[in-house]
Structure 1
Amino acid sequence: MSSTDIRQMTMLELFRHEVESQVEVLNAGLLELERQSDHSDREALLEPLEACMRAAHSLKGAARIISLNAGVNVAHVMEDCFVLAQQDKLRLRRKQIDALFKGVDLLTRIANAPGDDETWGEHAGKVEIDTFMLALSTAMADVSDDEIAPPATAIAATTESAQPTAPTASAASAERAVPVAQNDGREQREQRDSASPNGVRSVRVSADNLDRLLSLSGESLVESRRLKPFAASMLRLKRLQRDAAQALDLLQQKMTGSDEATQVALAEVRTLMLQSQHMVGDQLAELEMFDRHSVNLSQRLYEEALACRMRPFADGTGVGSGNYARMVRDVGHTLGKSVRLEIVGNATQIDRDILEKLDAPIGHLLRNAVDHGIESPTQRAQAGKPEQGKITLEARHSAGMLQVNVIDDGAGIDLERLKQNIVSRKLSTEEIVARLSESELLDFLLLPGFSLRDTVTEISGRGVGLDVVADMLKQVRGTVRITSTAGQGTRFQMQLPLTLSVIRSLLVSIDNEPYAFPLAYVNRTLELQRDQLDILEGYQHFHFEGRQIGLVSAHQILQKGELRAKGESVMVVVIGDNENTYGLAVDRFLGERMLVVQALDSRLGKIPNVQAGALMEDGAPVLILDVADMLRSVEKLSVSGQLENVRQAASEDAGAARKKVLVVDDSLTVRELERKLLTNRGYQVTVAVDGMDGWNAVRTEQFDLVITDIDMPRMDGIELVTLIRQAPHLRTLPVMIVSYKDREEDRQRGLEAGADHYFTKSSFHDETLLQAVVDLIGAA
């Protein structure tokens, strides 16, 4: 949320935000104090004690500002407890830390009371608060594990904290170190916009604002790249002016001997023409410079907007705040286990939306690791392991993906027991289970309702948890893999995209339309020769990484035309994993692109095999394919026996392949006349309505010949021929110009541009044109 939003917040809302940030400090500090409680090094305790004392003091001051007495009382007794520990008058052991954790939870409840009731602590929550006060006082007075007992006066001061306006001496000393927040709420506002520990200022911005910023910056980037074609049109104007100047020079030469007035007029026109040429040249240079700067600025704006969506792994999920560590500790204590959470990769950058979706799955996996993975202290001692179990939560980037691992050093998964559960639940037969691999067996753990617990407890046994993890990963195009080693532990490896906003994609052509495969789900791209394709049990296969992989036409999956094979080879995209791997045959590879994901209109519902949309650099739309959906479509076609034979379809197409001719003319009559003439001779004909349409066609399809007019809107025939000859992969493409105008200069320009033949429409007969086509590319 922005600074303006903060100024519009109520004081209770400000206090709620204050509690959120300070609770993180308290949780992390108490966990550190508990880890250090068995060590005699007091220096190690000073830093977390100071952090906790300051957090409790800040909450006390913030609660006092809004006259929230319940918050003042709870924070005050916690502050006194930390001060006594700082003065070495109280040793914080497990019983004291348990009580202080309850205080942390109570402060959160006070800040988030039902109905925003500021008097909750004095009425509905009074019993709970009084119980906490008594529990903390009792824990402070219990010195059975402490070397030094707190003085009675200190305990009395703590229990009398119901009078918040009379702070204890220890609290007063803390007041001098940490000034109390002022009644105007200025301190809270500043904390929302204050500098972070590394000196970087930060403000809260709403998610919707960030999404709009990213969307607008993406549009700006697309729009900036439209200047290039405009610059190209200016370049064509410059060439036209040059041609006009040459024509004027020729006219002046032919009019040698004419009267002086005519010569003066021609000289004046020539001067104006040169001035016009220079002006266009200067403007073109400025436009090209502006184009470069605009694209660069838009690219930087987009990258900065994208960076705003990226947050460290420690944010949003509670990793940095100690929430997960607190949860692991509490669940472990409930089960009579000592468990420590180690976090690796707090600084790993992840998209905000991914972070929000990760919270619940990580919580499920951590609870599962404590309950199912870590053994009891007795069992660990018998196995020669430390009494305290260890769970590692790791986040890192790997091969363009985010990898989040939850690893425990417990007993591992009992595969024999797992097999028995699978059979007893009638999920498979003994014969099939006996043949399953370890990874296939472990995948049963992800099924809804599946549990290895025979009884239901507060923690587990309901079969809810791991299926939630699998469902979340499907939503964000992620995967989960389970590995286990008997006696050593279990690893859950989640692989997710780094961002849901931008994806690196492989662009392919399918039936002359571009489609995008998210690159993270592409195993390999191959160009297979026909002799590399085999038929096994009626289906096509090819050899890939030591095994046979099924080949399927992407055209059949998308119901878009037929495969157009390139010569004797087939372009293949390999997708899927393990046994569920297939090769999708496409027309062509168009390269890799970074695409800004644009959600499709919700009114369309789920479009089969399509995940989202995006815009190309030139503003053209492209569909991003849903690889998981495509795999399911392949499975359905395979089960129903409807898979088409790509090799056969390609062979038939090749056998019936005819020479392809592109006819470019803005006249419907001329287009149809030439199309019928060529079709009747067996050629396959495609038509384009002008030069721009023709240029787009030759870039996306393969033709054996182009027949074009000269005078057309948007792009004339001379420009089309010039572009074809400048493109490296089109230089050898035969081009024929057919024009109504029988002008020698047009003929000369056409041939100079690179045309192979030039006809005027009034001078050729049907056979003349057809014979020229045969001379250039042969019979159909």
Structure 2
Amino acid sequence: MTPEQMRDASLLELFSLEAETQTQVLNAGLLALERNPTQADQLEACMRAAHSLKGAARIVGVDAGVSVSHVMEDCLVSAQEGRLYLLPEHIDALLQGTDLLMRIATPGNTVSAADVEAYVALMNRLLDPSQIPAPVVAPVFDVSQLLLAPQPQAPQPTFEPPLAAEPAQRPQRRTESGERVLRVTAERLNSLLDLSSKSLVETQRLKPYLATLQRLKRIQSTSLRALDSLGDQLKVVGLSHEAQEALAEARRLLAESQHVLSEQTAELDEFGWQASQRAQLLYDTALACRMRPFADVLAGQERMVRDLGRSLGKQIRLEIEGEKTQVDRDVLEKLEAPLTHLLRNAVDHGIELPEQRLLAGKPVEGLIRLRASHQAGLLVLELSDDGAGVDLERLRRTIVERQLSTEATAAQLSEEELLTFLFLPGFSLRDTVTEVSGRGVGLDAVQHMVRLLRGAIVLEQTGGQGSRFHLEVPLTLSVVRSLVVEVGDEAYAFPLAHIERMRDLQPDDIVQLEGRQHFWHEGRHVGLVAASQLLQRPPSQNDDETLKVVVIRERDVVYGVAVERFIGERTLVVLPLDPRLGKVQDISAGALLDDGSPVLIVDVEDMLRSVDKLLNTGRLERIDRRNRHTAELARKRILVVDDSLTVRELQRKLLLNRGYEVAVAVDGMDGWNALRTEHFDLLITDIDMPRMDGIELVTLLRRDNRLQSMPVMVVSYKDREEDRRRGLDAGADYYLAKASFHDDALLDAVVELIGGAQT
């Protein structure tokens, strides 16, 4: 390449960068001018942008760029001087010219001379006042005629839509302040963040050394005092001159070593503090390199909403709040597609046609609001529209027509339950497929991508007033704020985004409902599970009766997870697990704590599925925090196992009134789980029960070395001798027929087997 060719290539690259900047100004300004065509500052900004592009194109010899920008400038100058009132047709054409200029300036794109000539001719026609109708601020409809006329269909657009109906792939940009941008690969950024996080962890390893040196200083001080005391005691017996000199020399050496140790400890302490500060700054800077303003994902969305609305015969404005909210680069990239789906959905399904809006007493122009904000380590997005909302009755009919539910069941579904059907794969309220919608992949794809980001999405609507999507996703995928806990002498981290609360429970706070443990939390009973069982760790041997519980939530599902100890809140750098491990149950990733020790990050959604699986199979273990000493002093405990609620309650009240402590189980499987995890003095069981009958339960108990000596009473409707013999052969100590059942018979049998209630 000759020097002249190199110079031309460099100028073309500069022209491309300038075109990118100036077309952004044009896009934003033209959308503002569409709402207020006489806005002087926007007219000035757009005119200057077109003028700058014309000059830049002339310098680099791009004649097509000169021609396009020149006619655009003429149009804008005419509007500035009051000779032209900008109509939607002018805005369409100017936006089309903006897209054409970007195509001309982008390396590798080819724009034919015919395209440029056609555009110049279009602009010249629009600049001819004789061919443009008088300006109309807003369309006027005869409402009385609309009430009598059949509902109109969406009119076909009479204009040629602009070239960019979707947000296009964009090259890198300069910052708003004009700072130079250095392009760095994502892999290098990830490597930098990884190294900085490791350096931050390494600086924390100095703390144990400092603690050891401080301890050594204290030992030396004690040694020096002991040596002085020894010298005082030896003076009484009278030491030789040589012994006194040796003692003084030992004292001097010890004092000197203590002085040196003090100096080195102080220097190491200062070095450790400086190193940790620099490592923290390095880490924060590396993390900031990954963060981008939310506005980066919005480029082109406002234009897309406007163009799509025009093509459907609708007037729509997009309002955006929180453009400067900082979000991780990876999260931004993954958010662009879901946001595009939701915005297109709002334009097509949400906002009504102008005639319909007038009949409903609404402004002709529809409004879509998008708001971004930080909240508890999450990026919260709210996308709302002032359209018609979801037609719940039509949705109910569609559910039945698609055989997703019976008519009787669909009639009983709540609004929240009905709206969840919109997120099913292939579900759509449209009868026909159009270029915009009808295939049923929009909301399903949105939900899938949001869940990949470890986020959640909720749809709310008000009939006739509009819909609102509420999205919550992590601010970053590389760093997570977590609560670190101890389970089975190992550290685990629960992401704060899924934690509703941390609680200390006393044994009396735990209640038994239908054989399962619950506690009262914010007006509802919440199920209690042991983290040791979920994570397959040995149960805690801690004698402390207070139970540490993490209340986790995923949408409407809430559970309390019992752990051994709360270590504290930490910001963890996510370290992906080795792909060769595959999906590890209940675990999403790993991390390192400040002292360099590893910690596993819990996959809360997966953990909740594990809880459901344990509940469905009846293998959920109970938690007994009463220590052995307390159990020995407590009242005698009896487990009643019966699938009849009436029988369970009758037996429970009888035994409670006599002074016994009673727990209940709904079937043999539930009773077996209770027997393995809690201490009981007596088992009272029925025979005929689902999942596991009483005979199987007694047989399992007699085979268990720890439980085989426990007294067992069978209470059953079966009073035949062969039934009685079968129960006793299985290992029961007492058989009582329900047909001849009365209060005294049960209580007398209990006293006979385990004695009175008090120990």
TM-score higher than 0.5 here? yes
Partner residue, 2:256: 275
Describe the SS at the equivalent of 1:503. Answer: strand
- CA spacing shift, 1:24–1:601, aligned 2, 3 Å: farther
Match of 2:292 in 1: 311
CA 1:380–1:202: 2 relative to 1, 3 Å: same
State how many pairs are aligned. 590
**Which residue does the alignment assign to 1:230?**
209
Matched with 1:423 is 400
The aligned amino acid for 1:444 is: F
Query: Which of 89, 96, 99 is equivalent to 2:90?
Result: 96
- Sort the Cα spacing of 1:627 and 1:192 in 2 relative to 1 into closer, same or farther, 3 A: closer
User: Partner of 1:493 in structure 2?
Assistant: 470
Coordinate RMSD, CA, aligned: 3.1
Partner of 2:582: 605
Measure the CA separation in 1 of the matches of 2:376 and 2:414.
Answer: 26
Residue 556 (structure 1) shift: 2.1
- Relative to structure 1, the CA distance from residue 442 to residue 204 in structure 2 (aligned partners, 3 Å threshold; closer, same or farther) is farther
Deviations 1:532-575 (A, max 9, x none): 33333443333322222222222222222235565334322222
Q: CA deviation at 1:192?
A: 7.0
Which runs of no fewer than 5 residues in structure 1 stay unpaired? 1-5, 149-190, 657-780
The amino acid across from 1:616 in the alignment is L
Specify the SS of the correspondent of 2:253.
helix
Distance in 1, Cα, partners of 2:230 & 2:629: 55
Which residue identity is paired with 1:26? L
Shift of 1:644: 1.8
Distance 1:134 1:650 in 2: 88
Does 1:140 find its partner at 2:127?
yes
Measured at CA, do residues 601 and 58 of structure 1 come closer, stay the same or move farther in structure 2, by a change above 3 Å? farther
Q: 1:65 to 1:103 in 2, by over 3 A?
A: same
Q: d(CA) in 2 for partners of 1:266 and 1:479?
A: 75
Cα deviation per residue 1:454-479 (whole Å; 9 max; x = unaligned)? 11111110112111211121111111
Q: 1:604 to 1:63 in 2, by over 3 A?
A: farther
2:127 is paired with a residue whose SS is helix
Contact map agreement 1:367 1:459 (CA 8 A) in 2 = yes
How far apart, CA to CA, are the structure 2 residues paired with 1:653 and 1:79? 90
Q: Tell me which of 47, 65, 68 is aligned to 1:71.
A: 65
Is 1:36–2:36 an aligned residue pair?
A: yes
**Mapped contact 2:545–2:625 kept (Cα < 8 A):** no
- Tell me what 1:483 maps to: 460
Percent of counterpart pairs with the same letter? Answer: 52
Structure 1 residue 202: deviation in Å? 5.3
Residues 1:27 and 2:15 aligned together:
no
Q: State the AA in 1 paired with 2:349.
A: H
Does the aligned pair in 2 maintain the 1:533–1:647 contact within 8 Å? no
Asked whether 1:644 is paired with 2:638, we answer no
Structure 2 residue aligned with 1:81: 75
Looking at structure 1, the residues matched to 627 and 444 of structure 2 have their Cα atoms a distance apart, in angstroms, of 45
C-alpha deviation, 1:134, in angstroms: 2.6
Q: How does 1:644-663 map to 2 (within 5 A)?
A: 644-647=620-623
Using the alignment, how far apart are the partners of 1:300 and 1:8 within structure 2?
Answer: 42
Check conservation: 2:543, 2:625, Cα contact below 8 A: no
1:516 Cα deviation from its structure 2 partner: 0.5
CA shift digits 1:710-750 (9 cap, x unpaired)? xxxxxxxxxxxxxxxxxxxxxxxxxxxxxxxxxxxxxxxxx
Aligned residue in 2 for 1:684? none
Describe the shift of the 1:275–1:369 C-alpha distance in structure 2 as closer, same or farther (beyond 3 A): same
Report the residue type matching 1:636 in the other structure: K
Q: Call closer, same or farther: CA 1:539–1:210 in 2, change over 3 Å.
A: same
Structure 1 residue 511: deviation in Å? 0.8
Alignment partners' CA distance in 2, 1:262 and 1:468: 89
- In the TM superposition, what is the alpha-carbon distance from 1:224 to its structure 2 partner? 2.0
Q: Who is 1:129 aligned against?
A: 116
Q: Does structure 2 retain, via aligned residues, the 8 Å contact 1:563–1:646?
A: no
Decide whether aligned partners of structure 1 residues 569 and 264 sit closer, same or farther in structure 2, where only a CA change above 3 A counts.
closer
2:273 aligned residue: 292
| Aligned 8 A contact 2:483 2:495 in 1 | yes
Deviation at 1:365, TM superposition (A): 0.9
AA in 2 matched with 1:211: N
Q: Read off the aligned partner of 2:216 and give its amino acid letter.
A: L
TM-score by length of 2: 0.72
User: Residues 322-380 of structure 1, C-alpha deviation per residue, up to 9 Å, x if partnerless?
Assistant: x2221111111111111111112222232222222221111111111111111111111
The separation in 1 between residues aligned to 2:43 and 2:279, in whole angstroms, is 48
User: SS of the residue aligned with 1:384?
Assistant: coil
Q: 1:11 to 1:444 in 2, by over 3 A?
A: farther
Given that 1:238 and 1:277 are in contact with CA atoms closer than 8 Å, whether structure 2 keeps it comes out as: yes
The 1:451/1:84 distance shift into structure 2, 3 A limit, reads same
Cα gap change, 1:227/1:458 in structure 2, threshold over 3 Å: closer, same or farther?
same
Q: Tell me, what secondary structure is at the counterpart of 2:623?
A: helix
Measured after TM superposition, the shift of residue 203 of structure 1 is 2.9
- Contact 2:554 2:605 survives alignment (8 Å): no
Q: Tell me what 1:410 maps to.
A: 387
> Which of 488, 495, 507 in structure 2 is aligned with 1:511?
488
Alignment partners' CA distance in 1, 2:576 and 2:64: 47
Deviation, structure 1 residue 524? 1.7
Q: What residue in structure 1 maps to residue 46 of structure 2?
A: 52
Matches of residues 388-399 of structure 1 in structure 2 within 5 Å? Answer: 388-399=365-376
Unpaired runs of 5+ residues, structure 2, are 1-5, 136-171, 633-759
1:714 — aligned with what?
Answer: none
What is the one-letter code of the residue matched to 1:317?
Answer: V
Q: Deviations over 1:581-615 (max 9, x none)?
A: 22222222222122222233334333221122221
